[in-house]
Amino acid sequence: MQFLAQIGLSDVDPVSAGVLSIFMCQNDPGLCDEWDANAGGNRAFVFGSDATDVVSVPDDGVCLLEETSAVDFVQVQTDDYLEARERWARDTGRSVLDVLGQVRGLPAWLQNDETPACSVCREPMSFVVQLEEGHNHQTAANFGDGGCDYGFRCTSCRRAAFLRQR
């Protein structure tokens, strides 16, 4: 599986610590059931605060993206993700395609609400992050040509889940 993203949980909830780390199948979209949080095509893990060190890129091995990138967080005062993207683009004069997702808030589902249940306690998981595919082919993850990926966690059981819609 390819490492996709790491989200600091303190960015989601100021009293939380640790990270949500997200991995996805490296095959063409649709071959690994990425749309199902429990089918094995995606994996997400919650790691404690002792796992927040930045690691170096390995000197050898297969690099699946030509480049990698970090992102900036920009606070926009609205609960509507689509409205936030439009407002940000208007205020900055940049394209909405430059917005690579959201942390916190409510997911902007492309299809129906597919909030996963925790595999341990069976309660609905909390939304953490929505990721957009990206517009630059050198750094964009392959989300099936315009899909979105959604990350969740169970705060009580420290479990995580990840799924795709397109």
Tokens of 108: 């902007």
Task: Give me the pLDDT at residue 56, please.
Answer: 64
Task: Give me the pLDDT at residue 112, please.
Answer: 93
Assigned domain for 62 exists? no
Average pLDDT taken over every residue of the chain: 81
- Asked if residues 102 and 95 have their Cβ atoms less than 8 Å apart, the reply is no
Structural domain including 46 reads: 2-52+72-165
Lowest mean pLDDT of 52-66, 98-112, 148-162, name the range.
52-66
pLDDT tens profile 15-46: 888 888 888 877 665 567 777 788 777 888 88
**Cβ atoms < 10 Å from Cβ of 16:** 17
State the average pLDDT over residues 133-150: 71
Q: What is the 3-state secondary structure (H, E, C) of the chain?
A: CEEEEEEEHHHCCCCCCCEEEEEECCCCCCCCCCCCCCCCCEEEEEECHHHCCCCCCCCCCCCCCCCCCCCCCCCCCCCCHHHHHHHHHHHHCCCHHHCCEEECCCCCCCCCCCCCECCCCCCECEEEEEEECCCCCCCCCCCCCCCEEEEEEECCCCEEEEEEEC
Assigned domain for 129 exists? yes
Assigned domain for 36 exists? yes
Task: Give me the pLDDT at residue 16, please.
Answer: 86
- Asked if residues 9 and 17 have their Cβ atoms less than 8 Å apart, the reply is yes
- Confidence class of residue 121 from pLDDT cuts 50, 70 and 90? very high
Assigned domain for 65 exists? no
How many domains is the chain built from? Answer: 1
Assigned domain for 132 exists? yes
Assigned domain for 61 exists? no
pLDDT tens profile 38-80: 877 788 888 887 765 555 666 776 555 555 666 677 787 787 8
Assigned domain for 76 exists? yes
Cα atoms in the 13 Å half-sphere on the side-chain side of 22: 23
Assigned domain for 103 exists? yes
CA 41-126-100 angle, to 5 degrees, is: 65
pTM: 0.77
